[in-house]
Amino acid sequence: MLKTISSVSEWRKIMRTPPGFTGKTVGFIPTMGALHKGHMSLVSRCMKENDISVVSVFINPTQFNNSDDFSAYPKTLRKDRGLLQKAGVQYLFLPAYEELYSDDYLYKIIETDFSKKLCGTHRPGHFDGVLTIVMKLLNIIKPGRAYFGEKDYQQYVLIKNMTKAMFINTEIIPCDTVRENSGLAYSSRNSLLGSDNKKIAAEFHRTLRQNISTKEVKRKLENFGFKVDYIKDINKRRFGAAYLGKVRLIDNVKQ
């Protein structure tokens, strides 16, 4: 049965009250809610590989460089609870801002290289917020494994390298991007696309994976109506970010 935990002290009490999690493996999936098939694929893998599965839902304000984007982010907590309950997840960590940011974000984790490229160039401070909240959550939950989708491959790389650099004893597990039938990567923000833009959005992945130059990809996407942030090839992987209306889409493909 799904148990909801809202405070750090409550979670720590569960961990230290005998028998706690002694002899059991703990897997963790941090989310901002509005769960979809991509999230649930992480849940499925986590549950197969661990005795205890924990999912957090927290819309982290420090990773939003646009207040309107933060306000518009979809909130579907009742549905999320139902999905996690049905899947058999044991714990939902549902903290308030004050619980996680008692310092009001005076302290933060900053990476000075890869986070400044790609999304970091166009969303200043975004990855500072991402790395800070992930560090906090890993220190609270203390999982043996944590699961992240490869749709945001830059985020995965940064988190993996952060845990290595900071000697965090959690294995960061990458999971394949889950896509709709059209090829569009599942994203919580997809719900903000209208029906017409949803059809056009499918062209993002189709164009990104074509064997053409980044300049040609950008030109084609702009012809479809996208406002392109970047199309870049790094380490045999093509990364892309583009707006369709007010919705920002990201994706990547192996080359």
User: Final residue of a domain: which of 154, 175, 196?
Assistant: 175
Same domain, 170 and 212: no
- Summarised one tens digit per residue, pLDDT across range 78-135 is 999 999 999 999 999 999 999 999 999 999 999 999 999 999 999 999 999 999 999 9
The answer as to whether 181 is a domain residue is no
pLDDT of residue 110: 98
Question: CB of 148 within 8 A of CB of 156?
Answer: yes
Same domain, 165 and 84: yes
Looking at 39, 122, 126, 205, which residue is catalytic? 39
39 is catalytic: yes
Count of CB atoms within 10 A of residue 27's CB? 27
The answer as to whether 110 is a domain residue is yes
CATH number of the domain where residue 62 is located: 3.40.50.620
Same domain, 13 and 96: yes
Same domain, 53 and 101: yes
- Summarised one tens digit per residue, pLDDT across range 66-75 is 999 999 999 9
What is the band of 33 on the pLDDT scale with cuts at 50, 70, 90? very high
Count of CB atoms within 10 A of residue 47's CB? 17
Q: Which residues 6+ apart lie within 8 Å of 164 measured at CB? A: none
pLDDT of residue 219: 98
* 32: three-class secondary structure by DSSP: coil
User: Final residue of a domain: which of 153, 175, 197?
Assistant: 175
Same domain, 102 and 211: no
Q: How many domains does the chain have?
A: 2
- Summarised one tens digit per residue, pLDDT across range 123-156 is 999 999 999 999 999 999 999 999 999 999 999 9
Rg, C-alpha atoms of the chain: 18
Same domain, 165 and 199: no
CATH number of the domain where residue 194 is located: 3.30.1300.10
- Closest Cα partner for 95 from 140, 131, 62? 140
What is the band of 192 on the pLDDT scale with cuts at 50, 70, 90? very high
pLDDT of residue 51: 98
Tokens (6 digits) for 188: 């919580």
pLDDT of residue 93: 98
| Mean pLDDT value of segment 17-25 | 94
Same domain, 168 and 196: no
User: Final residue of a domain: which of 175, 197, 229?
Assistant: 175
The pTM of the whole model exceeds 0.95: yes
The answer as to whether 183 is a domain residue is no
pLDDT of residue 83: 98
pLDDT of residue 198: 95
pLDDT mean across residues, the chain = 97
Residue 200: domain span: 188-254
Same domain, 116 and 148: yes
Q: Could you give the dihedral angle defined by the CA atoms of residues 40, 43, 45 and 48, in that order, rounded to the nearest 10 degrees? A: -130
How far is residue 210 from each of residues 58, 193, 205, 207, measured CA to CA in Å?
36, 24, 9, 5
